[in-house]
C-alpha cells in the first residue's frame, strides 16, 4: 500500500481530490508550521482565522496522520539538497521525511 505526504500548497489550495484517493496520508511538522505561518500571516480576516482553527478537524476528517519528528538522517539529506540543488529548506525536509517513509509527496509546487 502506497504512502503519501501531503505538502503545504495542497492544504492551502483546498484542492484535496488527490488526497481523498490515498489510503495512507501523512503531513510533517514542517507542513503544519508552514500552513499555520501562512494562515497567521494573512490580514486578520475571519476566513483565514477560521482556516487555522479548522486545521485539526481537516486532518481528522481526511485521516491524515502527523509524522512525529524529523530524524538526523532526514536533516543530513535535506542539507545536501539545499546546498547542491537549491531546494528550499522546508521542501527539502518534507521530501527527506517522505523518502524515509517510502512515500510520495503530493504537492502543487512546480519544484
pLDDT, tens digit, for every residue of 68-107?
A: 888 999 999 999 999 999 999 999 999 999 999 999 888 8
In the chain, where are the structural domains located?
3-106
> Span 29-39, mean pLDDT?
89
- Integer-rounded Cα radius of gyration of the chain: 14
**Given a cut of 80, is residue 19 above it in pLDDT?**
no
> Span 1-6, mean pLDDT?
84
CATH (residue range 3-106): 3.40.50.1010
pTM reported for the whole predicted model: 0.84
Q: Percent of the chain at pLDDT above 70?
A: 92
**Given a cut of 70, is residue 54 above it in pLDDT?**
yes
Find out whether 35 and 73 touch, Cβ atoms under 8 Å.
no
Q: Which residue has the cell 486545521?
A: 55
Residues in the chain, overall count: 111
Dist CA 79 CA 35 (whole Å): 22
The b-or-e profile of 30-59 (16+ CB within 10 A means b, else e) is: bbbebbeebbeeeeeeeeeeebeeeeeeeb
Amino acid at each position: 500500500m502506497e504512502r503519501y505526504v501531503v505538502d503545504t500548497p495542497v492544504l492551502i489550495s483546498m484542492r484535496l481530490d488527490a488526497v481523498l484517493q490515498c489510503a495512507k496520508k501523512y503531513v510533517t511538522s514542517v507542513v503544519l508550521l508552514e500552513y499555520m505561518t501562512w494562515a497567521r500571516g494573512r490580514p486578520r480576516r475571519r476566513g483565514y482565522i477560521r482556516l487555522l482553527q479548522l486545521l485539526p478537524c481537516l486532518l481528522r476528517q481526511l485521516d491524515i496522520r502527523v509524522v512525529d519528528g524529523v530524524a538526523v538522517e532526514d536533516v543530513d539529506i535535506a542539507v545536501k539538497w539545499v546546498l547542491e540543488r537549491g531546494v528550499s529548506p522546508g521542501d527539502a525536509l518534507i521530501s527527506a521525511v517522505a523518502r524515509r517513509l517510502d512515500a510520495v509527496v503530493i504537492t502543487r509546487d512546480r519544484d
